[in-house]
């Protein structure tokens, strides 16, 4: 949990970041933080566009409706965080941890989750058009009702995923995925892969 002094300085930094955004960089200061802990913080509805928040611990944090578009969140942790209705468009989340995160109705079009760990996350009804999930751990992820048009799932772990009602399945980019577990991988490729994906989406 972040201490009061750290939270106070963060509020100041957020105000300067808003000024930086509104002035198109002419004044204020871009929010750039690394390797800190803000577990459980409430940043719902905040404008965090283009912020650099790498290696930050945001476990159990509230980002409901926040705008994180084009933010760099690589290697940060969002375990069990609330990201419902958040805007993650073109966000960088490579190697991030999002196990059990709630991303229902979020917009993450063209975001990158390369090698991210997202097991049991909920992306139901999310906009995931062109999202990059290559080599990510998506075990148990709920994609029900989401739009996966042109999403990249190359080499992703897909054991136990839910795809009921998902759109754009036939446009997904992947030559192979792993539907097994760590002890016993099970590779699906080619036509078998898309037959399997289609069966889950029905």
As a whole number of angstroms, the distance between CA 57 and CA 51 comes to: 15
Query: What's 62's domain CATH number?
Result: 2.160.20
Nearest to 109 by CA among 151, 143, 57: 151
**Confidence check: pLDDT of 142 > 70:** yes
As a whole number of angstroms, the distance between CA 188 and CA 174 comes to: 10
As a whole number of angstroms, the distance between CA 68 and CA 93 comes to: 11
Domain count, the chain: 1
6 in a domain, yes or no?
no
Q: Are 179 and 142 in contact (CB under 8 A)?
A: no
Q: 76 φ, ψ to 5°?
A: -85, 160
pLDDT at 166: 98
Quote the tokens at residue 137: 């751990």
The pLDDT-based confidence of 182 (bands split at 50, 70, 90) is confident
15 in a domain, yes or no?
no
As a whole number of angstroms, the distance between CA 15 and CA 47 comes to: 10
Over the chain, what is the mean pLDDT? 95
Model confidence pLDDT, tens digit, residues 42-59: 999 999 999 999 999 999
pLDDT at 7: 73
Q: Are 31 and 47 in contact (CB under 8 A)?
A: no
18 in a domain, yes or no?
no
Unique residue bearing structure tokens 């029900």: 144
Model confidence pLDDT, tens digit, residues 81-125: 999 999 999 999 999 999 999 999 999 999 999 999 999 999 999
156 in a domain, yes or no?
yes
Question: Where in the sequence is the domain holding 164, given as residue range(s)?
Answer: 33-202
Q: Are 187 and 176 in contact (CB under 8 A)?
A: yes
148 in a domain, yes or no?
yes
Considering the entire predicted model, what is its pTM? 0.94
11 in a domain, yes or no?
no
60 in a domain, yes or no?
yes
């Amino acid at each position: 949990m972040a201490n009061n002094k750290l939270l106070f300085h963060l509020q100041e930094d957020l105000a300067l970041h808003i000024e930086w955004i509104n002035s198109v960089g002419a004044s204020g200061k871009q929010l750039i933080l690394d390797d800190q802990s803000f577990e459980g913080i409430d940043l719902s509805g905040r404008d965090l566009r283009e912020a650099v928040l790498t290696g930050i611990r945001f476990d159990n944090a509230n980002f409901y409706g926040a705008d994180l578009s084009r933010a760099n969140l690589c290697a940060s942790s969002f375990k069990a965080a609330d990201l419902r209705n958040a805007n993650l468009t073109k966000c960088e989340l490579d190697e991030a941890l999002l196990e059990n995160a709630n991303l229902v109705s979020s917009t993450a079009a063209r975001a990158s989750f390369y090698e991210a760990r997202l097991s049991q996350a909920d992306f139901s009804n999310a906009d995931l058009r062109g999202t990059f999930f290559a080599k990510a751990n998506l075990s148990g992820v709920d994609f029900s009702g989401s739009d996966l048009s042109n999403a990249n799932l190359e080499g992703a772990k897909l054991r136990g995923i839910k795809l009921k009602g998902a759109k754009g399945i036939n446009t997904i980019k992947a030559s192979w995925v792993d539907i097994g577990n760590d002890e016993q991988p099970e590779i699906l490729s080619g036509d078998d892969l898309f037959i399997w994906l289609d069966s889950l989406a029905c």
